Structure formats: structure tokens, C-alpha cells
Amino acid sequence: MGVTYRPATLDDAELASDLMTAAYPAMAQDRVMLRYRWERPRAGFESARYIAEKSGQPIAYLAWLHGPWAQTPDRHCEVEVWLDSDHVDRQVLSRMWSWIGDQAVEQGTRMLLAYCAEDQPEMLDVLASLGYSRERSEKVWELDLKAHGPRIQAEAKDASRTAEADGIAFTTLADWSDPEALRKLHELDARTRQDIPVSFPLVRETYDDFVRRASSPDRPAARFWIALEGSEPVALSYLRFPPIRGAVWTGYTCSHPRYRGRGLARGVKLQSLAQAVDLGVPSVWTDNDGENGPMLHINERLGYTQRPGLVEHHKRVRPNGG
């Protein structure tokens, strides 16, 4: 019997997270967070999700996702295939990537965007055989907090004293009482993301979408760190703590362009890492674009160890009716 596909419902979030974890255990997926994202899509974004089954047994999760076509002139669409590693087979992978690509083409995309890890040789081979080209790399790092914890805590205290002498205070979102806090953070987030090396222009996140993301179950306000000059946020960093399963990851770290070169991004990131040490977190993961030199340098100085990264692939296609 061949592979069949059915649409995934909200109630399939746990199954999908299990399949994604079985496909690549190094980056386990949390079912609570997956459902949270499914329930709260970004404004104007469209997506579809599927469960692949063989002989009645779920073996893979597939999806496509794209932003508003009016804001994505390149009309790129991200496609995903998460095949349980116990069922990995090049022919099966090839058929799955072709199938989900066809679903995306029916939406009018002109560019398919796919990711896989550097240590997934079958995925890399299949994507190449289907005409996908390797375009960018995403570096992945892990910081052993058991080994580096005391040093991280000492450096965090030093960074806080240095910033304070420079008129900057480090605090958490929970301790920041400004009624406009989230609007100010939204502006800082949107401004700094313009400087991230990307293949395609980023769609600006709406304020409501930012609030939903900033309030998600994996990022409590007490673990969202901010550098303040007076009432203005000038840098931020936070960790994502999955409620059920998976590693703790750095969610985002940035500083306003006018404040760069003063060690604030590193300093505020150190506060979040020192807090993780206090909480008994064994290690923290992070990822950065391979061309984001400043953040790569910060990670190296903090003692992160490089892990297999992610490879971004592109495939130009002709949309249906195009």
C-alpha cells in the first residue's frame, strides 16, 4: 500500500509534534507550542498541514506556508517534510517533497523554500535531485551551562555594572511597568529585524501578532530581558522555555542600531543565560544566519559549541496558470 495524505486538524498537533521529533530528535518539538502557533496564525499568512500515512500508520508531517502575496513580490512559499527516521527512504522522501511542492504551486508560488539539517544526508540528496539549490546556512550552537554557568553568572554581573555606569538598566518585561512596553518592544523588534541577513524581504509583523508571540507559553515575562535607557528599550534578549519537550533556545537578541558597539546585546543576553543557570537549565541552544557576523562572534565568546546547522534550499517554479 502506498502513502496517503490527509489534512491535519488542531487535534493533530500532538501527533505532528511527535512525528517532527521522530524525524529529527536533536530538535524535539513541543506539542503545546505547535498547537499555540496553529491556533494563532500571523495576519495575512496562509498555510496547510497534512499527515502522511502508510498502511494506516502515521509516518510524516508535511506543510506549506506563505505570507501575503501583496507583500511577497517573489511569491516564495515554505514547504516542510518531516518523515519519521524509522521510515526514511529516498524514494518516499522524493515523492513527499514533490507532493507538498505541488500543493504549494497550486497556491500560486513562484519559489519553493525548504530547510533540512546538515546531518540529514538523505534529505540533502533528495532536495538536490529535485532541483533545489543550497542558498544559505543557519548556524546552530549549544552552550553547556553546567560547564560555563559560574563564568556566565560572573560576566552577567559585570555586564550589568558596566551598563549601569553607562546609564543603561537591565530588567525583565515582568518588572517593567511602562503601559506602552509592548508597543515599544514591537518597534525595536521590527527595526532590528531589518538588519538580519535574509534571502527574501521580511513581512513586518503586526502589533497584535507580536503581542501573541511575546505572550506565548514558552516565554514568560519574567524571562524576557530588556536594556533600558530611561523609558526606551534599546536592546532585548529572551529564551524560549518549551512547556513539555525540547531544548531551551534563545528566541531573539538585538540592540538598536544607535546603541551598537556598546556590548548591550551581549550584556542583555548574559542576563537571560545567568537566569537559566539559576533555574537549573543544563544547556541553551541558539541559531544565527551564517552571515550574521556580530552574533556569531558573541556566541563564540560566550563559549557556545557549534552543532549541525540548517541549510536553506530554493527551487524556482511556475505557478499554476502562470
Q: What is the pLDDT of residue 220?
A: 95
C-alpha cell at 181: 512596553
Q: What is the pLDDT of residue 301?
A: 81
Mean pLDDT, range 9-18, rounded to an integer: 98
Q: What is the pLDDT of residue 320?
A: 74
User: CA dist 101 to 75, 77, 314, 318, Å?
Assistant: 14, 9, 11, 11
pLDDT at 194 over 70: yes
Q: What is the pTM of this model?
A: 0.93
Residues 6+ apart with CB under 8 A from 221: 172, 173, 174, 215
Determine if residue 233 is left, alpha or beta; phi over 0 gives left, psi from -120 to 50 gives alpha, anything else beta: beta
pLDDT at 244 over 80: yes
Query: For a pLDDT cut of 70, what percent of the chain falls above it?
Result: 98
Q: Over the chain, what is the mean pLDDT?
A: 94
pLDDT at 41 over 90: yes
Task: Kindly state the greatest CA–CA separation across the chain.
Answer: 69
pLDDT at 321 over 60: no
Mean pLDDT, range 40-56, rounded to an integer: 96
pLDDT at 188 over 50: yes
Mean pLDDT, range 3-23, rounded to an integer: 98
- CA quadruple 176, 178, 179, 180: dihedral positive or negative? negative
Domains by residue range for the chain, with CATH: 3-131 (3.40.630.30), 140-308 (3.40.630.30)
Does residue 189 sit in helix, strand or coil?
A: helix
Q: What is the pLDDT of residue 322?
A: 46
Query: For a pLDDT cut of 90, what percent of the chain falls above it?
Result: 87
pLDDT at 298 over 70: yes
Segment 76-125, tens digit of pLDDT: 999 999 999 999 999 999 999 999 999 999 999 999 999 999 999 999 99
User: CA dist 198 to 114, 201, 288, 290, 315, Å?
Assistant: 14, 7, 11, 10, 16
pLDDT at 288 over 90: no
Pairing state between β 283-289 and 248-255: parallel
pLDDT at 259 over 90: yes
